[in-house]
Amino acid sequence: MAILENYEPKNVFHYFEEICSIPHGSGNTKQISDYLVNFAKERQLKYVQDEMNNVVIYKPATPGYENAPTVILQGHMDMVCEKRPDVEHDFTTEGLKLRVDGDYLSAEGTTLGGDDGIAVAYGLAILDSTDFSHPALEVVFTVDEEIGLLGADGFDCSVLKGRRMINLDSEEEGRLWVSCAGGVSGNSYLTVQRVEASGEKVSVKITGLTGGHSGAEIHKNRASANILMGQFLYELGTICGYALKELEGGLKDNAIPRECTAALLVLPEEVSLVTSQAEKMQAAFREEYAGSDENITIQVTKEGNEDAEVLHPTSQEKVIFFLMNLPFGVKKMSGTIEGLVETSCNPGIMKLYRDELFVQTSIRSSVGSAKEALSHKIQYLSEFLGGEYDTEGNYPAWEYRKDSRLRDKMVEVYKEMYHQDLQVVAIHAGLECGLFYERMEGLDCTSLGPNILDIHTYEERLDMPSVKRVWEYLVKVLEALRD
């Protein structure tokens, strides 16, 4: 039995539950894309599906709205796939296991994909509705937003007629997003050499961090497991010798790393120094990150004597130097918009291979030159240590539009419905709006959505009453866009 069938709005939660039953992680969107196409075919709606699996579904205007400007509704169909360490779940083949706790919907031990499955559900519910009036609609579902806005970047905007667009990829009810940062993923490759060594193998794991979205939560003083591991390895080296064998942390460049592991070889008589240093630094980290990450834990596990290939001392020094100097977090606040993060970065993925350390960093800024300068800083650091650097997924900032009839109408409707002001804000997280705005002359764009907590983590929760309120508001906005 569908667990959401008795929750309002029924059409929205019906489609959200169907979406959750289909695997739709980034890079695995063919099945969900075909589901959207079949939806359109069953309702005899015109559609476009491109080679990347992006889908557009068109719905004609209702009577009386034939001359109203076309409205674009837009969201992405892919989700971030994270799970609790003790949970067995194959995101490539399995749907999500949903559960309701009070007013909140979540998935059992995994991310929920409310970002941006709720946009897909809203879009399908609107396309399937017959009980309210609206202009002609172009509902755009893009792919692979979470790994660099790839679907939007490859999307052919010539298939769209509308110049009013409502993006449905925000997570705070009562706030209308009207500008966002641009971003790029920076890839650092540090060549390393290895030598044979013997010793007591010790596993060090930093865990218990809050994590979160590297744009939306970067200003909340949340720790990065990758950065903490760099600090631990540096401090450990000041009290005992060790050889680094393995190092890995983080799964997504746009998620603040919650865990990082390292494997070391040490002299048997110095294992106790590793343990005592872990206890000391765990206490220090918990104090440093009080209020955001009080549960930081450094686990040390002895795994017995081992002969193994470890980093050459020079390579090990380079790796630790890189981690100690790699920027993380907020680099600059906006000088023009109070409380807005202007520039930040997040080294979200780190993996030590046999011959190379790879680190991928998400770099964001609402100022293009600042984004480029921060990328160059990491490039200089990487190349100074003999490594290489490249970038991918570069996307522009979405600039604030001074004159916006769409924004003004949405503010007016909100005031009429709730008798309070809609907050109009710029955000630091990246949105696909920037790519559409850059390519579609005269585009008038906004972004809204219901409350979603702890996105990109396995504690993600969707506020169900908020989903209902945003649905009612969205319907009223579409009814109001008659001219």
pLDDT value at position 145?
93
User: Looking at residue 461, what is its pLDDT?
Assistant: 97
Residue for token digits 């997570």?
Answer: 171
Give me 352's structure tokens: 């030590």
What per-residue confidence (pLDDT) applies to 11?
96
pLDDT of residue 399: 83
Strand ranges (DSSP E) for 383-473? Answer: 388-395, 423-430, 444-447, 452-453, 461-463
Is 185-392 a domain of CATH 3.30.230.70?
Answer: no
Write b or e for each residue in 207-221: b if 16 or more Cβ atoms lie within 10 A of its Cβ, otherwise e: ebbbbbbbbbbbeee
Structure token pair of residue 12: 């929205």
Q: Which residues of the chain have pLDDT under 50?
A: none
Q: Do domains 10-170+431-480 and 185-392 have the same CATH topology?
A: no
Distances (CA, A) of 377 to 333, 365, 371: 18, 14, 10
- Nearest to residue 365, comparing CAs of 321, 406, 398, 316? 398
pLDDT of the residue at 17 = 97
For 239, phi then psi, to 5°, come to -120, -15
pLDDT for 2:
84
Is 392 designated active site?
Answer: no
Can you give the pLDDT at residue 385?
Answer: 98
Q: Which of 78, 116, 144, 459 is catalytic?
A: 78
Q: How far apart are CA 223 and CA 134, in angstroms?
A: 46
What are the DSSP E strand ranges found in 121-193?
137-142, 164-167, 175-191
Domain definitions of the chain by residue range: 10-170+431-480, 185-392
Residue 104 confidence (pLDDT):
98
Right CATH for 10-170+431-480 from 3.20.20.20, 3.40.120.10, 3.40.630.10, 3.40.50.280: 3.40.630.10
Q: Is 144 left (phi over 0), alpha (psi -120 to 50) or beta?
A: left
Identify whether 78 is a catalytic site residue. yes
Residue 140 to residue 52: CA distance in whole angstroms: 13
What was the pLDDT predicted at 427?
Answer: 87
Q: What is the pTM of this model?
A: 0.78
- The active-site residue out of 82, 145, 342, 460 is 145
Query: What contacts 115, CB < 8 A, 6 or more positions away?
Result: 79, 80, 146, 169, 171, 452, 455, 456, 460
